[in-house]
Amino acid sequence: MNSVTRCGTVAIIGRPNVGKSTLLNRLVGQKLSITAHKPQTTRHRILGIRTEDSIQTIFVDTPGIHLHGKRVLNQVLNKTAASALFDVDAVVLVLQALVWNEHDQRAFDLAANAALPLYLAVNKIDQVERRDALLPYLSQLPVAETIEAVIPLSARNGNGVESLQTALNHVLPEQPFIYDEDELTDRSSRFLAAESVREQLTRFLSEELPYALSVEIEEFEETPNLLRIGAVIWVERPSQKGIVIGQQGSRLKETGTRARRSMETLFGRKVFLQLWVRVKEGWADDERALRSLGYDS
The answer to whether residue 145 scores a pLDDT higher than 70 is yes
* Same domain membership, residue 206 and residue 140: no
pLDDT score, position 72:
58
* Same domain membership, residue 160 and residue 196: no
**Full domain range(s) for residue 232:** 189-292
How far apart, in whole angstroms, are the C-alpha atoms of residue 65 and residue 82?
A: 8
Sequence-distant (≥ 6) Cβ neighbours of residue 93 within 8 angstroms: 13, 14, 107, 108, 111, 118, 119, 120, 121
pLDDT score, position 244:
92
Tell whether 182 is covered by a domain. Answer: no
* Same domain membership, residue 104 and residue 194: no
Q: In what order do the strands lie in the sheet with 213-222?
A: 213-222, 226-235, 270-279
- Comparing 277 with 198, the larger pLDDT belongs to 277
* Same domain membership, residue 100 and residue 145: yes
Tell whether 58 is covered by a domain. Answer: yes
How far apart, in whole angstroms, are the C-alpha atoms of residue 93 and residue 116?
A: 12
pLDDT band at residue 295 under the 50/70/90 scheme: low
Q: Alpha-carbon Rg of the chain, whole angstroms?
A: 20
pLDDT tens digits along 210-226: 667 889 999 999 988 89
Tell whether 181 is covered by a domain. Answer: no
Query: Residue 67 maps to which CATH number?
Result: 3.40.50.300
Tell whether 255 is covered by a domain. Answer: yes
Last residue of a domain, one of 101, 135, 169: 169
Tell whether 29 is covered by a domain. Answer: yes
Q: Are 125 and 20 in contact (CB under 8 A)?
A: no
The answer to whether residue 1 scores a pLDDT higher than 70 is no
The answer to whether residue 39 scores a pLDDT higher than 60 is no
Last residue of a domain, one of 169, 200, 222: 169
- What is the average pLDDT score of the chain? 88
pLDDT score, position 31:
84
The reported pTM is 0.83
* Same domain membership, residue 165 and residue 51: yes
The 3-state DSSP class for residue 64 equals coil
Do β-strands 213-222 and 270-279 pair in parallel, antiparallel, or remain unpaired?
unpaired
* Same domain membership, residue 158 and residue 19: yes
* Same domain membership, residue 240 and residue 152: no
The answer to whether residue 15 scores a pLDDT higher than 50 is yes
Instruction: State the DSSP H helix or E strand holding residue 123, giving kind and residue range, or none if neither.
Output: strand 118-123
How far apart, in whole angstroms, are the C-alpha atoms of residue 283 and residue 214?
A: 9
Cα angle value 144/145/151 (rounded, 5°): 65
The 3-state DSSP class for residue 157 equals coil
* Same domain membership, residue 222 and residue 96: no
The 3-state DSSP class for residue 197 equals helix
Into how many domains does the chain fold? 2
* Same domain membership, residue 214 and residue 163: no
* Same domain membership, residue 210 and residue 99: no
pLDDT score, position 68:
59
The answer to whether residue 74 scores a pLDDT higher than 80 is no
Tell whether 179 is covered by a domain. Answer: no
How far apart, in whole angstroms, are the C-alpha atoms of residue 201 and residue 216?
A: 13
Tell whether 1 is covered by a domain. Answer: no
Q: Are 252 and 275 in contact (CB under 8 A)?
A: yes
* Same domain membership, residue 147 and residue 73: yes
Instruction: Give the long-range contacts of residues 174-181, CB within 8 A, separation 24 or more.
Output: 174/4, 174/5, 174/6, 175/5, 175/6, 175/7, 175/8, 176/5, 176/7, 177/5, 177/7, 177/51, 177/56, 178/7, 178/56, 178/58, 179/49, 179/51, 179/56, 179/58, 181/51, 181/56
- Comparing 20 with 40, the larger pLDDT belongs to 20
Query: Residue 196 maps to which CATH number?
Result: 3.30.300.20
Cα torsion through 217, 221, 222, 227, rounded to 10 = -70
pLDDT score, position 208:
59
* Same domain membership, residue 145 and residue 202: no
How far apart, in whole angstroms, are the C-alpha atoms of residue 131 and residue 93?
A: 21
